[in-house]
Structure 1
Amino acid sequence: MSINIDRYAKLISSLLMLVLMFFADFSVMATHIRAGQITVERISPSSLTYRITFVGFRDSESGVEFGNGILNFGDGTIIETVPSQFIVQPLPQVPFLQKVTFEIDHTYQAPGFYNISYTEQNRNNFIRNINGGNSVEIPFHVESQILIDPFLGVNSTPQLLIDPLDFATGDKFFIHNPGAFDAEGDSLSYKFVIPKQGTGTNVPNYIGLDNPDLYANFPPYDKEDGTSPPEFSLDPITGDLVWDAPPNVDEFEYNVAFIIEEWRKVNGEYIRIGFVTRDMQIIVRESDNERPELIIPEDTCITAGTTLSLNPAATATDPDGDSVKIEAFGGPFEISNPAEYSPNPPVWQAPVAELDFEWSTNCFNIRESPWQVVFKVSDRPFRNGGSTLLPSLVDFKTWNITVVGPPPNINDVFPVSARSIQINWDDYECDNRIVSGFQIWRRVDSNPFEPGSCDVGMPEGTGYELIDVANENETDYLDDDNGLGLSPGAKYCYRIVAVFRDPQGGESYVSNEVCTTVLAEAPVLTEVSVLETDPANGEISVEWLPPFDLTDPSFPPPYNYKLYRHSGFNGGNGRTLVYEGDQTSFVDTGIDTENQPYHYQVELYDSNDNFVDTSSYASSVYLDIFSGLDQLTLSWTADVPWSNLIDTFPYHRIYRNNVDPNNPDQLVLIDSVNVTANGFNYTDSGEFNNTPLVDSIEYCYVVRTAGSYGNSDIPEPLLNFSQEACSFLSDSIPPCPPLELTINNLEVGECEDFLFNQPCDFSNYFNELSWDPELEEECAEDVRLYNVYFSKSGDEGTFSIVGTTREPNFTHLDLDEFAGCYYITAVDRSGNESEPSNVVCRDNCPYYELPNVFTPNGDGFNDTFEAYSNQQSDFSKCPRFVESVDFKVFNSHGKEVFTYASGNEKSILINWNGESNSGQVLNPGVYYYIAIVRFRVLDPAKKEREYKGWVHLLE
């Protein structure tokens, strides 16, 4: 490898001149530090002892050793390093560079975040993007952070397996990867930072490698393929640092820094628990060498306990025909059951290099984030008959291997009673030290899917519901639907997923499916279907089957039934008996099917009128519509004991009006949805009959579902219709603002009249609003509802929504006073909101009155001086809307004898007992007072009033 001798001769000459000028030691201003980083590793499970490792690169020709730097442990402990503490490794392929390593153990006294840093003079000179190339005077500083927290478990920083110094060729694509590995399986991310010269201090005049100024004197300004501008990026997930391409100038150095952040998943949330800063150097040289080409495997998953073997795993060739070498780095090579690759150590191969890989995994390798294997290929470009070695070029590629937990195995499922099922599974093959529990999944009727490779946990769209999580030591579970009981006659199917402890985390493959059927010893609901959609006269058809598995002779037939209706999807809301008799069907009428669903339950009674059992709940299908600019999206829901997601009847039908021009109100079948593949959603974009939807037309829909209990004794499919739901296409134009908003109750003077007969502690205030519904025609048709906004003060920015209404009026109830301001807005069917209406305000009518006589003689009557209150029957004198009272009493000579200020537990009523401030009983006589009373009102002129008067203190 050739060395630029002239350049170093000039450098040494410059340094000697500095020595003569400043009479300083050579080592003070010498050029040496090129790159470095700090990593931290927990080495004691019982104490807070960590091994701190600094890795750096220096110029071997500078004559300056690493040392005399400051290592700060972040806990107040600082040491000065000496050269003898550093291990030096020469780099035979690069004679003027050396790798140096320094390790030290340190014990922390308490949990917390610690920033560990290393600072030393000086960086090497001529780093082009630091201080205009005059970088020799700039200190080198790197830092890493670690969180010590016993509640989060053991933590070490990421370990960086690939050195922080690399070579690039001008005008050629460059890539670097740090080969980061986290022993605890925490997630890593990458981002750029500016290199530092001290804690919190960036190096001066730093130019990023994506800054055009960097290329100003080195045309052409482009990538390797000739396109512009150059690209400099850092992949936040893989850590690939790409520079496409450096300027083609011989022997220029550039420094770049980035941090590798460490994230731990805690209670489902990721928190940052540390980082490592890499300050690396890229040395750019001129060369006509071409970069080698590397081929690696596709990302893969492997079940823990099996062996992953690829022969070869990676291959490489070189466009110039040079020999190449493949190296592998990453977490799989750093653990107790390490992966192996060969040849190892790597060797130069031509014309094709191959690397074999083998890893015998175990359960302790399971984790949510993939293991990364970083492959690095280098070429050895000899020219001139082997006498000249050009700068080597490299390429990096990352292979992700996810180690997945094996599936649990369910060995038995059977009914324990008419409402419960027992599930048993085998002992799990992975140690329960890494297993946090087992998810129990259930669905009605079978879905015999097989998970694909890397499809861990329960895939979406399978119809399975997570019902519970058993602990890591359990191998059985009793399902009684949390005490509510399972549905009679239903076929229930179960699967289990193992969940692994943080920080590794992750889920296993899903288990086998095992099913069983609950006996139908109670009525079985089979239909809850909307017949008529109306806000007041809606109709729902309900049907059920008798208990065909009931054989208990203590409950003889014939049977009678009580059918109960509830509002909403489930629970006990609004329980109403709607039918009693021996029939197994009923049409429920006179209900609001337009705005809400209903659910039903049947009670069973024997021939002696003894209660036997109840059916499960089953709801009607409720359809929602979401408007778009040129499409309408339907979404429907039903809470039923059967499954509406079945392979045998996967299609739900979509009906819509405005299809037949001769009968636009008729609902016509326009499409069907395979809900097993697409879920309970459908988007109508006007594809039926190739007729686009029109924004001025209201479209109405009904959905028919198809379901099954998975029981051959129950006919299928179970067909149920939703209510009819209607909508327009959305638009982006807001409606016109409402007009002439008024407050109707309590005109001027009526506030006092209203309160005349109300007790002093009255607090049930209200305001009645109304506005003109007659908007311009094109606006009125577009209004769906009104929003009502309120503010106690009326100040801008203090209004908030207090209600919505479809009518041009609104009563604001449950107020503690009248005072406040309102405005309203109109909202159209697309959710666009108008500008505000006019603002109207209502004020309080404050009142406060003090008496002239009191007798503090202890007879229990008129013993204290206080404002008129509920003690009197005359409510016209009640204090109203009083915020605070400041009260002072003076004797006939003008001397202040008593003061009082309301607040905290002190009442606005004052309650003066006739004593002075010092507790002295005052003599009978006439005293004078001043009371400053502040009221809760909007009118500034009425907020404060001064009352002056006299009071006669009698014996």
Structure 2
Amino acid sequence: MNLPLPNYIGRLLLVLLVNAVVLFGLTPAAQASHIRAGDIQAKSDTTANPNPRRVFFKMVLYQATNLVSNVDEKDVTIFFGDGTCTLQNGVPRFSKTQISPTVFRNIYYFEHTYNAPGQYTVSYIGENRNAQILNMTDPGNRTFYISTTITIDPALGVNRSPVLTAPAIDNASANQVFLHNPGAFDADGDSLSYELMPSQAANAVVVAVTDCTPRNAVVPGFVYPSAQSASPGGKQVSYSGTPPGVVGADAIFTVDSRTGQIVWNSPVRVGEFNVALVIKEWRRGVGRPRLVGTVIRDMQITVVPTNNRRPEITIPPDLCVVAGTPIPAQTITATDPDGQAIRLTAFGGIFPPATFVQNQTGPPQASGTFRWTPQCENVRSEPYQVLFRAEDQPAQSSQSLIDEKVMRITVVGPPPQNLQATLQPGSAIAVLNWDRYVCQNASQILIYRREGPSNWTPGPCETGIPADKGYTQIGAVSASTQAFRDDRNGQGLERGKTYCYRIYAVFPLPGGGASIASQETCVTLTGRSALLTNVTVDKTDATTGQITVKWTKPTSSAGFAQPYGYRLLRATGQSTAFTQVYTTGNLNDTVFVNGPINTLTTGYTYRLEFFSSSPTNTELKETAGPASSIFAQGTIGSDGRVALSWTHNVPWNNTLSPTVVFRKDAAGNFVQVATVTGTATGGSYTDPGPFVTGQPACYYVRTTGTYGTGLPTNLVNLSQQVCVQPVPCTPVLSLKATNCDSLSANLFNLPATTGNSQVYTNFLTWTLNTNLPPNCNREIAFYRIFFSPTQGGSYRQIDSVKVLSYAHRNLTTLAGCYQVQAVDASGQASARSNEVCNDNCLLFLLPNIFTPNGDGINDTFRPKVASPIRRTHFTVFNRWGVKIYESSADPLINWNGGGTANEGGRGPAVAEGMYYYQAEVEFADLKSTKKTFKGWVQINR
């Protein structure tokens, strides 16, 4: 209702007060307890000149009929999610309809234009719910919150939120299964998922009023309707649907995330219950589906007592239908255990033009007929859901009960018709033609090809072409196109082969969908093209390597007249950047030796062109290949085993015969060490050895290929030789540690610590573990030394040496950890050695007398012996326990007998005599050990 702003704010604030305040002479619950359920739906601008940031909305509210005039919601405030709202000018009600003795349905239409793309939550806050709700605290004084989240993105195009075709209020009967389905329909074909959610309220109405940004929260005291606190004693009853009832188990309240079917098995407490249902809208595209919208519907369920029993509905199984084909009349039936008449209804986005007509009400059986002829515009990936409901018709004193089930109907595109393939005269090009596709709303026609017939017939509703049928997509054209030329990407079709084709249509996103594939059509090219048969490495070298390429002589063809010849092209690796390396007009010349080239670190790919010039000087060309050399690579693992792999890209089949692996022995000869089954593009082998100590392990592989029956076979090709140097053996590191126990035992006899300038040295030695990893290389060029100041910390290299020892000198502390790594002459490094650590001893000895008289001898109190120290907190007390000195400035103390008037030992001199001290010492060891030392000291001046 369009109240003046101050009054509206007052009413919104009122519902937050713990102590009710009278407004217009009524308590809040009495004057505003009225909202039962509702939802908001949205769609983007579809006018003649659409604005992608303009959105149209429809809100449906369900209100109690026992209203007082000032809460009749003649106009409402909407929050648009961008910081704006309609506080000043409310949205007027479009219609008000009484749909039951206790319920009004109000409809509101409004629109909003956003300033920028983004995601926005459009929401409504009602002043109060109706007061009789049983599964929340003090419902009559709780606000009512619903929302719809939309995505403004030009890339999405037109987007419409789901339309909920079933009302948001429903009745249930005690001790009977309750069923409800929102009948959601998405006109764009987006996928929908469903979740339950606690009913929501405005968390901060004050903020909503002042800056138009409401915040929602769970209604205080909310529990789901099946909770024992809301419906004590609720138990499940027999139910054959999903989930099946477990008789006697605690009641459940669930939603099917795919169909939206809500099941409460079963209510027991009579009264009203509310719950929120979340419908999420997912847009398909490249990658994972994208969440583009969310509708939060708050619905109300009224449980009434009854002795009535639920009817049972029977529907046909899910269907798949080709667009343009009428669905055979589907019969829906229902029976009632109490012998009552039944009303059958159907919900879904396809009504109209789909129809459902009830023929019989029963008893003994009610029946109805569903009919629909889906059109091309109905093709999409997601099935359509049709909700069928049976509601019995008991005496007026009893509550009617329902059963409902969902039928899913998938609509696919019809197959393209009359696909024909012919050869273009005088060429190696196939021309495809087909009838104009009947569904011109399709986005593309996809063209697929394979070699040889498939003998595959698509199923009645099987769309597209399965990957296992051997087809490859070779093109795509618009839905209005009726022809396609296949020249095999400019290479021409190969003579002697049969090429078979199918096409099918795909439909635009977001709905997507596809058609059934066309019938297969084939074309055969007579004669035989030249075929590459060998690309084998004769010599492995970085500069003088050699590869031999061989091919077959093509058969004659009327289209290929003299002059004709061969061109051989080469690309580095398996790239497509070809350059010509050889040409000849002699058709009997079918071998080319390519060298000198680098075959040690590079593989090569070849393509052959058989060409001739026609009388019009237009060149005809057949292409063979590409075919690559076999390129092998090897690495050695930490376990000492060699991992060998190889790759190739060839037009023949290397998988029917084993690939043979050869390794060089101690005498320098290659011997067979393994046979493996390769793949279409290569293979791998792990060699456990044994290997020749100190020598690299060298390999090559041999493949044997075939083109198949009636074509060249026994095509033997060799890879280049690849050598793998074993990694260096891993060092075993030792460190000469300090004997702290011995030093502690002789503490009084140790030389005096000279101060912070004390330096230390750590001595390291190591050996090689010649079995780690197995077959490791013992020929070491040098060793790297690594250091970390803390155990398990980050290491840095500090030096390298060629010998098996190292002295780390001029250290201020012995604490630290080391690792060593061996490196061979080729630069290969071993694993790092074990970690060894040294640590400082925890030595600390203070004298019991000093003479601070300025003669330069024993003028300060400091440790006689001390390990490296990070910090010392030193405190001195006189004989009466009074603290006379305290300092942490010097780790070695260096107290000159002064008081604490000045930190650093410069206070007034204390008198001669005995004093007591406490030294809290933090040592500079790996663990930063802390110890406290107490004692006495005599000062003589």
Which TM-score band applies after superposition, normalised by the shorter structure?
Answer: 0.5 to 0.7
The answer as to 2:472 corresponding to 1:465 is yes
Partner of 2:922: none
Kept in 1, the 8 Å contact 2:627–2:651? The answer is no
1:321 Cα deviation from its structure 2 partner: 4.1
Given the alignment, which residue of 497, 501, 514 partners 1:490? 497
The answer as to 2:629 corresponding to 1:616 is no
Once the two structures are superposed, residues 462-497 of structure 1 have per-residue CA deviations (whole angstroms, 9 ceiling, x without a partner) of: 211112222344322222333344434433222222
Partner of 1:499: 506
Kept in 2, the 8 Å contact 1:73–1:116? The answer is yes
Given the alignment, which residue of 161, 164, 172 partners 1:168? 172
Partner of 1:236: 257
Partner of 1:368: 381
Q: In the alignment, residue 419 of structure 2 is paired with which amino acid? A: I
Q: Compared with structure 1, are the counterparts of its residues 409 and 535 closer, same or farther at alpha carbon in structure 2 (3 Å cutoff)?
A: farther
1:142 Cα deviation from its structure 2 partner: 0.8
- Distance in 2, matches of 1:435 and 1:268, equals 21
Partner of 2:563: 555
Kept in 2, the 8 Å contact 1:655–1:668? The answer is yes
Q: In the alignment, residue 410 of structure 1 is paired with which amino acid? A: L
Partner of 2:35: 33
Kept in 1, the 8 Å contact 2:225–2:231? The answer is no
For 2:494, what is the secondary structure of its paired residue?
Answer: coil
Given the alignment, which residue of 322, 346, 363 partners 1:350? 363
- Distance in 1, matches of 2:90 and 2:583, equals 91
User: Between Structure 1 and Structure 2, whose CA radius of gyration is higher?
Assistant: 2
Q: Compared with structure 1, are the counterparts of its residues 521 and 341 closer, same or farther at alpha carbon in structure 2 (3 Å cutoff)?
A: same
- Distance in 2, matches of 1:825 and 1:176, equals 73
Partner of 2:161: 157
CA RMSD of aligned residues (A): 5.8
Kept in 2, the 8 Å contact 1:197–1:203? The answer is yes
Q: Compared with structure 1, are the counterparts of its residues 22 and 424 closer, same or farther at alpha carbon in structure 2 (3 Å cutoff)?
A: closer
- Distance in 1, matches of 2:350 and 2:354, equals 5
Once the two structures are superposed, residues 351-401 of structure 1 have per-residue CA deviations (whole angstroms, 9 ceiling, x without a partner) of: 223221211222222222222212223334x4xxx5742451433323233
- Distance in 2, matches of 1:683 and 1:316, equals 64
Length-normalised TM-score, structure 2: 0.60
Given the alignment, which residue of 588, 606, 628 partners 1:582? 588
Partner of 1:129: 135
1:89 Cα deviation from its structure 2 partner: 3.4
Mean Cα displacement is larger for which, 358-367 or 232-241? 232-241
1:50 Cα deviation from its structure 2 partner: 5.5
Q: In the alignment, residue 123 of structure 1 is paired with which amino acid? A: R
Mean Cα displacement is larger for which, 442-451 or 476-485? 476-485
Q: Compared with structure 1, are the counterparts of its residues 439 and 43 closer, same or farther at alpha carbon in structure 2 (3 Å cutoff)?
A: closer
1:160 Cα deviation from its structure 2 partner: 0.5
For 1:307, what is the secondary structure of its paired residue?
Answer: coil
Q: In the alignment, residue 324 of structure 2 is paired with which amino acid? A: G
- Distance in 1, matches of 2:539 and 2:391, equals 73
Partner of 1:201: 216
Q: Compared with structure 1, are the counterparts of its residues 207 and 196 closer, same or farther at alpha carbon in structure 2 (3 Å cutoff)?
A: closer
Partner of 2:641: none
1:449 Cα deviation from its structure 2 partner: 1.8
Partner of 2:282: 263
The answer as to 2:302 corresponding to 1:293 is no
For 2:350, what is the secondary structure of its paired residue?
Answer: helix
The answer as to 2:158 corresponding to 1:140 is no
The answer as to 2:392 corresponding to 1:379 is yes
* Structure 1, gaps ≥5 residues long: 1-16, 626-634, 645-650, 658-662, 685-694, 709-713, 725-735, 743-770, 782-788, 801-820, 827-833, 841-955
Kept in 1, the 8 Å contact 2:447–2:501? The answer is yes
For 2:377, what is the secondary structure of its paired residue?
Answer: helix
- Distance in 2, matches of 1:130 and 1:533, equals 85
Q: How does 1:646-685 map to 2 (within 5 A)?
A: none
Partner of 1:180: 184
- Distance in 1, matches of 2:463 and 2:428, equals 31
Q: Compared with structure 1, are the counterparts of its residues 176 and 835 closer, same or farther at alpha carbon in structure 2 (3 Å cutoff)?
A: farther
Q: Percent identity?
A: 28
- Distance in 2, matches of 1:309 and 1:268, equals 37
1:308 Cα deviation from its structure 2 partner: 1.1
Once the two structures are superposed, residues 317-371 of structure 1 have per-residue CA deviations (whole angstroms, 9 ceiling, x without a partner) of: 334444433321112114xxx111112xx87433223221211222222222222
Mean Cα displacement is larger for which, 191-200 or 157-166? 191-200
Given the alignment, which residue of 94, 98, 105 partners 1:90? 98
Q: In the alignment, residue 469 of structure 1 is paired with which amino acid? A: A
1:123 Cα deviation from its structure 2 partner: 0.8
Q: In the alignment, residue 367 of structure 1 is paired with which amino acid? A: R
Partner of 1:413: 422
The answer as to 2:55 corresponding to 1:46 is no
Given the alignment, which residue of 378, 384, 409 partners 1:400? 409
Once the two structures are superposed, residues 58-95 of structure 1 have per-residue CA deviations (whole angstroms, 9 ceiling, x without a partner) of: 33346575416423345624058999936443345xx4
Q: Compared with structure 1, are the counterparts of its residues 35 and 601 closer, same or farther at alpha carbon in structure 2 (3 Å cutoff)?
A: same
Kept in 1, the 8 Å contact 2:729–2:773? The answer is no
Partner of 2:554: 546
- Distance in 2, matches of 1:210 and 1:773, equals 74
Partner of 1:804: none
Kept in 1, the 8 Å contact 2:389–2:403? The answer is yes
Given the alignment, which residue of 350, 353, 361 partners 1:332? 350
1:201 Cα deviation from its structure 2 partner: 1.8
Q: In the alignment, residue 291 of structure 2 is paired with which amino acid? A: R
For 1:178, what is the secondary structure of its paired residue?
Answer: coil
Once the two structures are superposed, residues 469-526 of structure 1 have per-residue CA deviations (whole angstroms, 9 ceiling, x without a partner) of: 223443222223333444344332222222222333222222222222346585234x
For 2:502, what is the secondary structure of its paired residue?
Answer: strand
- Distance in 1, matches of 2:259 and 2:424, equals 50
For 2:424, what is the secondary structure of its paired residue?
Answer: strand
Kept in 1, the 8 Å contact 2:631–2:648? The answer is no
Q: Compared with structure 1, are the counterparts of its residues 324 and 682 closer, same or farther at alpha carbon in structure 2 (3 Å cutoff)?
A: farther
- Distance in 1, matches of 2:457 and 2:225, equals 48
- Distance in 2, matches of 1:326 and 1:681, equals 64
Given the alignment, which residue of 505, 511, 519 partners 1:512? 519
For 1:505, what is the secondary structure of its paired residue?
Answer: coil
Partner of 1:475: 482
Q: How does 1:293-332 map to 2 (within 5 A)?
A: 293-312=312-331, 314-332=332-350
1:219 Cα deviation from its structure 2 partner: 6.1
Partner of 2:108: 103
Once the two structures are superposed, residues 23-43 of structure 1 have per-residue CA deviations (whole angstroms, 9 ceiling, x without a partner) of: 535776443222111123456
Q: Compared with structure 1, are the counterparts of its residues 497 and 26 closer, same or farther at alpha carbon in structure 2 (3 Å cutoff)?
A: same
- Distance in 2, matches of 1:438 and 1:542, equals 40
Q: Compared with structure 1, are the counterparts of its residues 116 and 564 closer, same or farther at alpha carbon in structure 2 (3 Å cutoff)?
A: closer
Kept in 2, the 8 Å contact 1:47–1:107? The answer is no
Given the alignment, which residue of 86, 91, 97 partners 1:78? 86
- Distance in 1, matches of 2:284 and 2:33, equals 43
Partner of 2:372: 359
1:301 Cα deviation from its structure 2 partner: 2.2
Q: Compared with structure 1, are the counterparts of its residues 623 and 162 closer, same or farther at alpha carbon in structure 2 (3 Å cutoff)?
A: farther
1:717 Cα deviation from its structure 2 partner: 8.8
Kept in 2, the 8 Å contact 1:707–1:719? The answer is no
1:256 Cα deviation from its structure 2 partner: 1.6
- Distance in 1, matches of 2:250 and 2:629, equals 58
1:620 Cα deviation from its structure 2 partner: 6.9
For 1:443, what is the secondary structure of its paired residue?
Answer: strand
Q: In the alignment, residue 491 of structure 1 is paired with which amino acid? A: T
For 2:141, what is the secondary structure of its paired residue?
Answer: coil
- Distance in 2, matches of 1:837 and 1:289, equals 82
Q: In the alignment, residue 355 of structure 2 is paired with which amino acid? A: E
* Structure 2, gaps ≥5 residues long: 1-18, 203-213, 238-243, 634-644, 662-670, 691-699, 720-726, 734-765, 777-783, 797-817, 824-829, 837-941
1:98 Cα deviation from its structure 2 partner: 0.9
